[in-house]
Amino acid sequence: MSVVGFVVVRAGALTTVQDLGRAGYAHLGVPRSGALDVPAYRLANRLVGNTEGAAALETTVNGCALRAVRPLLVAVTGAPCPVRVGGRPAAWGAPVRVPGGAVLEVGAATAGLRSYVAVAGGLAVEPVLGSRSADLLSGLGPAPLADGAELPVGSGRGAGWAVADVLPYGPAGGELVLPLVPGPRDGWFAPGALTALVTGEYAVSPASNRIGLRTVGPALERAAGRDGELPSEPMVPGAVQVPPDGRPVVFLADHPTTGGYPVIGVVPEESLPAAAQSVPGSRIRFVVLRSAARPAG
């Protein structure tokens, strides 16, 4: 059973409902989607006593504001930001009680990009293919928040966790270090392209989004005779795809399930939360995993 828990006062630049995503549908062309910073999302749910897969909000850059229809227990994690309840400062990274009628304000990120707002009982929007995640590529799931929208909340009350038993999870520092497993299509690139990738000065592009982290930096050259495109083949989170302009794109949660541009390497999924929190202009350093290094072929 669920009832309206919040009314959206300020939706923010991009606030979406996310959970752990809809795995298992890539063969139908449906991306997994889900929270980009999974550790921060899981921590927010733990802090309010939810299961780790309960639906929560993912904000982008400037947060959001929500009016509680009834008393609720919430937690804000991910990108550090000011939190206010009823106009008064409240804790980030800890359980916070919001009285009925009070406004929860999640402010602009002071570091990183994306904050997570969990509420005891979880957001009870209608699931699609087993997930409540908003997928910006396919359009599945609930639409991004809009001012005046109502958010249903499940009936779980949540006891909250003591803050001493968890470490607040924050974004990476000024430099984003991404480990890289070469291949499967590194043979499509000119000799030295992989070296150029790990030694080049790359930065996060402002054009980055939930689909992929786009980069600004040296273009990677194709090998002679590799001017065409591959037949579409499966793509995975963390795939570093190189489009015709030569600038690598690191795929995130809403990435397409197939693609024809060659993939020079794959970033392990455990490194993607830091990518999701890196602001435009952040320096990127790719590091080939020693155990995975091999000649291009």
Q: Are strands 239-241 and 263-266 parallel, antiparallel or unpaired?
A: antiparallel
Please count the other Cβ atoms lying within 10 Å of the Cβ belonging to residue 78. Answer: 33
Contacts of 270 (CB under 8 A, 6+ apart): none
pLDDT in tens, 238-281: 999 999 999 999 999 999 999 999 999 999 999 999 999 999 99
pLDDT in tens, 97-111: 999 999 999 999 999
pLDDT at 8 over 70: yes
Q: How confident is the model at residue 225 (pLDDT cuts 50, 70, 90)?
A: confident
| The predicted structure's pLDDT at residue 292 | 54
| Mean pLDDT confidence for 132-157 | 93
- Closest by CA to 252, choosing from 263, 233, 264, 236, is 236
pLDDT in tens, 39-53: 999 999 999 999 989
Does the predicted model carry a pTM greater than 0.85?
yes
Q: Are strands 239-241 and 202-204 parallel, antiparallel or unpaired?
A: unpaired
| The predicted structure's pLDDT at residue 86 | 97
Contact predicate 64/149, CB 8 Å: no
Q: Are strands 263-266 and 175-182 parallel, antiparallel or unpaired?
A: antiparallel
Helix (H) or strand (E) holding 114: strand 114-119
44 burial via Cβ count (<10 Å: 0-12, 13-18, 19+):
buried
The phi, psi pair for 156, rounded to 5°, reads -60, 135
Contact predicate 82/22, CB 8 Å: no
Give all domains of the chain, ordered by start, each with its CATH number.
Answer: 2-165 (no CATH), 175-292 (2.40.100.10)
pLDDT at 158 over 70: no
Q: Output the six-digit token pair for 96.
A: 């916070």
